[in-house]
Amino acid sequence: MNERLGRGLEALIRDIPESTNQATGITTVRVDHISPNRYQPRKTFDTSKLQELSDSIKQNGIIQPIIVTKKDDSDYELIAGERRLEAAKLAGFEEVPVIIRSVSKKEQLQFAIIENIQRENLSAIEEARAYQQLVEEFSMTHAQISEIMGKDRVTITNSLRLLRLSPEIQDYIVSGNLTAGHARAILQVVDEHQEGFAKYLAVNNCSVRQAEELSKTWEQPQTHIRQQQIKNHSHDIEETELKQLYRVNVKIDDKNGRGKIIFKYSSEEEKKQLLEQLMKQ
C-alpha cells in the first residue's frame, strides 16, 4: 500500500514523474477524453454549490489541476477532482489541466474518498458506502481504513453501522432530512420500528438530542409512555410558537385534552405588550 495516502492529495502533486512536463508537470486534456472515476463514492452533487464553483472557474480558471490516470487507449480516467471537472464542463471548458498518475484500483478508490472527506462533500451514507467498498473489494479492516483516513477506528465502525438502516432511512440522510446523529439514535430502536421513528424525526424536524431521548422508549408502540412523548414534543413545538408570537414565556398544562395555557411575563412592559396582542386577536 502506498504510505503517502494518509497525507492526501498533496502527496500526489509532489510525486509528479519528471517526464510528464519539464516546466510544471501539468498537461492539458480534453474533457470528453476523461471518464468518471468508477470508484467515486459520491453519487449526488449540490447543484447550487456546483454552479458557484463553475462561476468561479469562469473568472479564475482551474487553480488546482485535476488528477487522472491513463487508460489502455487514448483516454483518461479521473482519480481526484470530480467537482472541478463537472464545474469546468458546466462553465463550457473543452480542456482542463491535469496531472497524470499511475495508480492501482485500491489507490484510486482511496484517493477519491480522501478528496471528498477532506472537503466534507460526502453525505454520511456515501462515506459509509465508500468504507464498505474498501472492506468488500480490498479486504481492508476497520483499523487499516482508519489509518489511511486519519480517523479513529471507532469512527469508521460507527460509520459502517449506518448501512444497517433500511434504504428508506438512508435516503433521509442522503437528502439531508436527517443527520448521522439522528441515524445513531434510530439504530437504538428495534428494527421493525426504525422507519416509523425516522419518519417522525424528519417530519417534526427533531433535533439530535430529542431523537436520542425519544429512542429510549420508542420501541414500545401505542403505550402510554410513547403517547406521552409525542404529546410532550407537540407541546414543546406549540409553546415555542406561542413564545415567538407573544414574546413571553408560555407553558401549556394539558390533561386528556383539557387544561390551561399560562403566559409568564417578567415586567410591566411585557404584561402591557401581551395584553395588547391578546386584545387584537
CA dist 44 and 121 (Å) reads 10
What share of the chain in percent tops pLDDT 70? Answer: 71
CA dist 121 and 127 (Å) reads 9
Domain C-terminal end among 119, 145, 173:
119
Q: Residue 33 domain-assigned?
A: yes
CATH number at residue 64: 3.90.1530.30
Q: Residue 140 domain-assigned?
A: no
Q: Residue 21 domain-assigned?
A: yes
Does residue 36 surpass a pLDDT of 50?
yes
Q: Residue 30 domain-assigned?
A: yes
Domain C-terminal end among 119, 143, 159:
119
Q: Which of 10, 52, 77, 82 is catalytic?
A: 82
Does residue 76 surpass a pLDDT of 80?
yes
Most confident of 89-103, 236-250, 256-270: 89-103
Domain that holds residue 280: 237-281
- How would residue 105 be classed by pLDDT, with cut points 50, 70 and 90? confident
Count of domains forming the chain: 2
Q: Residue 160 domain-assigned?
A: no
Q: Dihedral of the CA atoms 20, 62, 150, 49 (nearest 10)?
A: -150
- How would residue 17 be classed by pLDDT, with cut points 50, 70 and 90? very low
* Single-letter residue type at 209: R
pLDDT tens for each residue of 171-202: 999 888 999 899 999 999 988 899 999 999 99
pLDDT tens for each residue of 44-74: 667 787 888 888 888 888 878 888 888 776 6
Q: Residue 215 domain-assigned?
A: no
Q: Residue 208 domain-assigned?
A: no
Q: Residue 79 domain-assigned?
A: yes
Q: Do residues 119 and 108 touch, judged by C-beta distance below 8 A?
A: no
Does residue 273 surpass a pLDDT of 50?
yes
Quote the pTM value.
0.52
- Residue 218: which of 229, 203, 207, 210 has the closest Cα? 229
Q: Is 82 a catalytic residue?
A: yes
Does residue 262 surpass a pLDDT of 70?
yes
| pLDDT value, residue 198 | 93
Domain C-terminal end among 119, 152, 176:
119
Does residue 236 surpass a pLDDT of 60?
no
Does residue 130 surpass a pLDDT of 90?
no
